[in-house]
């Protein structure tokens, strides 16, 4: 009877390959999930980004400091319109620019971005008349600026008052102030379909002392879809090139 030959032991495989493949599969699933969230819910994406920074003790500023000057230049050249908007917001929230420079503060509200120029249009107490030459000059700048913006942008004109009168009268006065500014825009060639008016009356004072004169004002907001990067880019270019 022939003697059976024992099967030689197979060489041990790479044991790390299986768990490594599982890890890559999970990582791919994570990236797909993050991509899906970023497409459907940008706000949630920002929240997740903040949490990841905390977990991994990662600071973007550390990376920037370690880059070479060439890398920094390349990174700056590849900024998205949203990056530019955020940089513009940080700049204008820390300083008041003169009227002629027309720098802007950005405020993201739900699905819109609101652009507010830092200078205010102020009124005499109890009056809705535009009498100051400085105010008229500023409005002229604003009209010229507005005409150069994409037609998709909505111009929202908001009126306010101090607390020297009743809430109802203050509401009416604030509306009349915003209406007078809107009429100035329309009379000087701004499309009436792009303009809306809001009255806040004696609400939202700029100072704890609600009777201060600076609360008698009108503010102008330019509103655009937060997902419309092309329009946002056009606004940035308009800000950069506009010289009243």
Same domain, 110 and 166: yes
List, in sequence order, every residue forming a beta bridge with 217; answer none if it has no partner: 122
Cα torsion 64, 66, 67, 68: sign: positive
pLDDT at 189: 94
Domain that residue 59 falls in: 34-77
Q: Where are the alpha helices (DSSP H) in the chain?
A: 17-40, 42-56, 60-66, 69-77, 81-93, 133-147, 167-187, 229-241
Average pLDDT over residues 93-109: 44
Q: Which two tokens stand for residue 102?
A: 């027309």
Residue 96 has pLDDT above 70, yes or no: no
In a domain, 58, yes or no: yes
Neighbours of 216 (CB within 10 A): 25
Q: Give the chain's domain count.
A: 2
**36-64 burial code (b ≥16 CB/10 A, e <16):** eeeeeeeeeeeeeeeeeeeeeeeeeeeee
pLDDT confidence tier of residue 101, bands split at 50, 70 and 90:
very low
Residue 117 lies in a domain: yes
Q: Return the structure tokens found at 156.
A: 């929202």
Q: What is the DSSP letter of 160?
A: -
Phi, psi angles (nearest 5°) of residue 38 = -65, -30
Treating both helix axes as pointing N-terminal to C-terminal, what angle do 133-147 and 167-187 enclose, rounded to 10 degrees?
A: 60
Whether residue 49 sits in one domain with residue 71: yes
Q: Which pLDDT value is given to residue 81?
A: 55
Please indicate, yes or no, whether residues 38 and 57 belong to a single structural domain of this protein: yes
pLDDT at residue number 4 = 57
* Structural domain includes residue 122: yes
CA distance 26 to 20: 10
Quick one: 58 and 150 in the same domain?
no
In the three-class reduction of DSSP (H, G, I as helix; E, B as strand; rest coil), residue 152 is classed as coil
22 falls within a domain: no
Q: Are residues 194 and 218 in the same domain?
A: yes
Quick check: 196 and 154 in contact, CB under 8 A? yes
Q: Would you say residue 220 lies in a domain?
A: yes
Residues 150 and 60 in one domain: no
In tens, the pLDDT along 146-158 reads 888 888 888 999 9
Model confidence at 235: pLDDT above 90 = no
Pairing verdict, β 112-116 and 195-199: unpaired
């Amino acid at each position: 009877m022939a003697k059976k030959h024992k099967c030689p032991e197979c060489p041990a495989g790479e044991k790390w390959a299986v768990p490594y493949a599982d890890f890559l599969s999970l990582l791919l699933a994570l990236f797909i999930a993050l991509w899906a969230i970023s497409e459907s819910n940008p706000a949630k994406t920002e929240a997740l980004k903040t949490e990841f920074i905390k977990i991994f003790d990662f600071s973007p500023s550390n990376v920037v400091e370690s880059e070479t000057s060439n890398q920094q230049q390349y990174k700056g050249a590849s900024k998205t319109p949203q990056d530019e908007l955020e940089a513009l917001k940080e700049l204008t929230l820390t300083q008041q620019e003169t009227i002629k420079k027309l720098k802007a503060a950005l405020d993201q509200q739900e699905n819109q971005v609101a652009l507010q120029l830092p200078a205010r249009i102020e009124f005499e107490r109890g009056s809705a008349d535009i009498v100051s030459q400085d105010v008229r000059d500023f409005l002229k700048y604003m009209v010229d600026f507005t005409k150069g913006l994409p037609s998709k942008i909505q111009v929202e004109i908001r009126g306010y008052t101090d607390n020297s009168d009743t809430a109802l009268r203050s509401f009416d006065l604030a509306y009349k102030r915003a209406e007078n500014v809107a009429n100035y825009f329309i009379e000087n060639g701004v499309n009436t379909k792009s303009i809306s008016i809001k009255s806040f009356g004696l609400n939202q004072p700029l100072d704890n002392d609600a009777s201060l004169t600076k609360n008698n004002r009108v503010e102008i907001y330019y509103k655009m879809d937060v997902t419309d990067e092309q329009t946002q880019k056009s606004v940035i270019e308009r800000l950069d090139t506009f010289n009243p």
